[in-house]
Copies of this chain bind each other. A is one copy, B any other.
Amino acid sequence: MMLNQQSPIPLYRQLATRISEDIEAGLHRVSEKIPSENELAQHFSIGRPTVRQATDLLVRQGKLERRRGSGTYVLPPTQSIDLFSLAGTSAALRKSELNARLELTATPKREKISFEGSELPSDYLRVERRTSVDDTPVLYETLWLSTDVFPDLEKHNLANQSLSALIRDVYFLEPSSADQTFFVICADDAQAKQLDTKTGTPLLRVYRQLHFGNNKHALHAEIVCLTDRFEFSQTLFPANAAQDTMNQPV
């Protein structure tokens, strides 16, 4: 299975995906080396810089580590954040995900709405969905997706697939960043009903904005949960102390 030269997806991205899939399929084990850059270049009939672009991408995703003179190694699965959802990273939640069910709670519909920081009302597709674990509702989300950025989204099945995968595969877009703010709120009637709890129950509300390139208003999301049902946790790293630290000789 070679790379598709005709695809609009750049070769280096196709290769990154391929390597990533090979890792997930167990072809390359954690702590072991993937084929060398020259081997990959030869095998896929592409240039070594193209291979490097692909491995660059995966290094930045924390999936690979390059050791000069030695090779490129598979790293343990990182605790990465999926910006589309609150799927956490703890081992406990991973277990819960096996029994997780995500369902739409209303038919997606268009509405014209203006978010803070955006002057004019714009068209959004409003999507409501709920995540349950073992039939206990743990998350209730409302998403507003810009119809300018994601045209004809309602034509796709939003219920049974990952929204991030859909947006990546259909629109070739990935979020560049997200802003989110935490609130403690009291459940209103709709929220209480969706989460199967009493009106007025204290909830964690997370308001999140996903940015795609320069578009700051592509996707807004409101997520509410009971923190004794859903553990919202994350790992933080200091800024500017990442894999790209400048090493100065003494």
A184-B202, A202-B202 as given contacts; A237 in contact with B227, CB under 8 Å: no
Interface residues on A, range: 35 or more
A2 within 8 Å of B (CB atoms): no
Chain B proximity of A221: nearest CB distance (Å): 12
**Is the contact region of chain A dominated by helix, strand, or loop, or is it mixed?**
loop
> Which residues in A have some Cβ–Cβ distance to B below 8 Å?
8-9, 13, 17, 57, 60-62, 65, 67, 78-81, 83, 174-184, 186, 202-204, 214, 226-228, 231-246, 248-249
A-B contact pairs, 29 of them (CB 8 A): A9-B248, A17-B246, A57-B244, A60-B240, A60-B244, A61-B239, A62-B240, A67-B214, A79-B239, A81-B236, A83-B238, A175-B238, A177-B235, A178-B235, A178-B236, A178-B237, A179-B233, A180-B233, A180-B235, A182-B204, A182-B233, A184-B227, A237-B240, A237-B242, A237-B243, A238-B242, A240-B242, A241-B242, A242-B242
